[in-house]
């Protein structure tokens, strides 16, 4: 048919497009991918903004983060909480210690080291091999406990410089204190008082701008607490050395045989694994707040043992300090003979020497009950009031059955002092017991 010259009209049906199932599934997947991408982009942008804000607020050096040495520009603040109980009501006190380091032990050291001193003594002694007088020297640590110059240390650090049973130095002895910030200006110290039983001595110096340590509470510590020992191991060469560990045990009972016969007692000490070495004696054991909880005194040195250090609890030490300040010694009401004895004299030694078992006297104190009774160096004590004694411990047990002022009979064996006589003789000497005051 010829359509030329006619008007033709085209009509289109408005029907929905029909898609296959495969096309529909692909579209949904694309939509999910698009939404996930947008979320990721938004999250990344937020994270970058957050990091930038943190760096700006904390003034952090970006390079330190890249190298793994991140540090803030502001000092680290360590917060320690302590509890004080007052009339059954517990009050918490927060102590803030500012430090330029993020190490808690370093912060403690910064606080405590200015209160630790070096104690250096010189003393005369006789070299029996060459039969001549020589000068000895020793070093230890001390703790400034008050700004007016009182220093606490161990008795065994200074006793060689002192006359027996006295706080007075030998004429040729010296006791000098070295401060950490005045190492070239040694200061002469006087002995206010000392106590051989607790192994504590109180010294006094005249100096300005002293930094006193904060006194803690040794009744408020627990096994596992942080413990930091500060002192001078090996002497002034390593002055202000710091070791850290934990409180390993409490009320460790040790029997000290280094005192004069019968003047020892069982010491209840703090045990720690913080390293305590020669020269640390008299140094500080402190807690996590830098407060003094103990006075380092000794360690067990024996094959098979490691990390057994001991400190005198500060609460006990401050009781001793009060008595030393008041009278120069500690009153215990314990009987005293006034001698030093050998801990190496035993049955084998006695048999080899041809002398009886007993307790060998190595020195007799001036003006002591022993001197008054006529005891001499080299005598062997065999009985106390008729009771046989063969060791230091047995002598102490028998002596402690009596009170100061009681009279006892000390039986001794004494080698002959005459060249024409051999062997020795037994004596029974009456002795009036004194009071242990050192």
- In this predicted structure, the answer to whether residue 353 has a pLDDT above a threshold of 80 is yes
- Alpha-carbon Rg of the chain, whole angstroms? 38
- In this predicted structure, the answer to whether residue 375 has a pLDDT above a threshold of 50 is yes
Where do the domains of the chain lie?
A: 27-74, 214-327, 335-435
In whole angstroms, give the CA distance from residue 375 to residue 38: 101
CATH architecture of 214-327: Beta Barrel (2.40)
In whole angstroms, give the CA distance from residue 292 to residue 216: 5
Higher-confidence position of 87 and 257: 257
Cα-flanking dihedrals φ and ψ of residue 64, to 5°? Answer: -65, -30
Percent of the chain with pLDDT over 90: 37
Higher-confidence position of 193 and 255: 193
Residues 6+ apart with CB under 8 A from 269: 251, 252, 253, 254, 294, 297, 310, 311, 312, 313
Rounded to an integer, the average pLDDT of 287-303 is 78
**111-136 pLDDT, tens digit each:** 999 999 999 999 887 665 566 677 78
Count the alpha carbons within 13 Å of 267 in the hemisphere toward its beta carbon: 26
Query: What amino acid positions are annotated as catalytic residues?
Result: 156, 199, 281
* Residue 331 C-alpha from the chain's centroid: 26
Handedness of CA 289, 290, 294, 300 (dihedral sign): positive
Alpha-carbon distance values, 322 to 143, 200, 291, 326, 341 (Å): 16, 12, 19, 6, 30
Q: What is the DSSP string of 304-371?
A: T--S-EEEEEHHHHHHHHHHHHHHSS-----EE--EEE-SS--HHHHHHHT--SSEEEEEE-TTSHHH
In the beta sheet, which residues pair with residue 152? 143, 202
In whole angstroms, give the CA distance from residue 376 to residue 389: 18
The answer to whether the beta carbons of residues 89 and 128 sit under 8 Å apart is no
In whole angstroms, give the CA distance from residue 334 to residue 331: 8
In whole angstroms, give the CA distance from residue 321 to residue 328: 9
Residue 232 in tokens: 């001078």
Higher-confidence position of 58 and 139: 139
Give the helix, strand, coil percentages of the chain, each rounded to 5: 25, 35, 40
The answer to whether the beta carbons of residues 252 and 269 sit under 8 Å apart is yes
The answer to whether the beta carbons of residues 230 and 279 sit under 8 Å apart is no
pTM value? 0.57
CATH architecture of 335-435: Roll (2.30)
Higher-confidence position of 436 and 389: 389
The pLDDT, as a whole number, for residue 134 is 76
Q: Report helix, strand or coil for 77.
A: strand
Residue 273 in tokens: 């694994």
Rounded to an integer, the average pLDDT of 205-216 is 94
- In this predicted structure, the answer to whether residue 404 has a pLDDT above a threshold of 80 is yes
């Amino acid at each position: 048919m010829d359509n030329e010259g006619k008007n033709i009209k085209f009509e289109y049906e408005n029907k929905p497009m029909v898609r296959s199932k495969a096309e529909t599934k692909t579209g949904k997947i694309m939509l999910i991918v698009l939404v996930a991408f947008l979320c990721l982009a938004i999250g990344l942008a937020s994270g970058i903004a957050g990091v930038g804000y943190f760096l700006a607020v904390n003034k952090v050096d970006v390079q330190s983060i890249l190298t793994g040495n991140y540090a803030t520009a502001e000092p680290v603040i360590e917060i320690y909480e302590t509890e004080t109980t007052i009339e059954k009501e517990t009050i918490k006190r927060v102590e803030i210690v500012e430090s330029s380091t993020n190490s808690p032990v370093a912060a403690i050291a910064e606080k405590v080291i200015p209160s630790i001193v070096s104690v250096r003594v010189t003393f005369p002694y006789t070299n029996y091999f060459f039969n001549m007088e020589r000068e000895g020297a020793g070093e230890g640590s001390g703790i400034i406990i008050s700004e007016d110059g009182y220093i606490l240390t161990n008795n065994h650090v200074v006793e060689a410089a002192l006359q027996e049973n006295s706080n007075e130095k030998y004429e040729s002895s010296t006791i000098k204190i070295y401060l950490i910030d005045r190492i070239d200006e040694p200061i002469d110290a006087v002995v206010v008082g000392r106590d051989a039983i607790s192994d504590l001595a109180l010294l006094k110096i005249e100096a300005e701008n002293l930094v006193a340590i904060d006194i803690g509470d040794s009744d408020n510590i627990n096994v596992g607490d942080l413990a930091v020992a500060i002192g001078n191991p090996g002497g002034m060469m390593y002055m202000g050395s710091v070791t850290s560990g934990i409180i390993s045990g409490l009320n460790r009972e040790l029997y000290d045989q280094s005192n004069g016969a019968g003047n020892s007692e069982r010491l209840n000490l703090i045990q720690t694994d913080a390293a305590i070495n020669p020269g640390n004696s008299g140094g500080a054991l402190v807690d996590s707040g830098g407060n003094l909880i103990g006075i380092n005194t000794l360690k067990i040195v024996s094959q098979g043992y490691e990390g057994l250090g001991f400190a005198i609890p500060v609460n006990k030490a401050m009781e001793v300090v009060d008595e030393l300040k008041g009278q120069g010694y500690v009153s215990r009401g314990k009987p005293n003979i006034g001698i030093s004895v050998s801990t190496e004299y035993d049955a084998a030694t006695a048999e080899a020497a041809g002398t009886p078992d007993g307790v060998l006297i190595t020195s007799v104190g001036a003006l002591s009950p022993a001197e008054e009774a006529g005891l001499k160096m080299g005598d062997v004590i065999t009985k106390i009031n008729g009771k046989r004694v063969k060791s230091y411990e047995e002598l102490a047990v028998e002596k402690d059955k009596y009170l100061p002022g009681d009279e006892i009979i000390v039986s001794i064996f004494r080698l002959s002092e005459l060249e024409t006589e051999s062997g020795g003789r037994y004596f029974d000497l009456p002795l009036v017991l004194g009071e242990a005051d050192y």
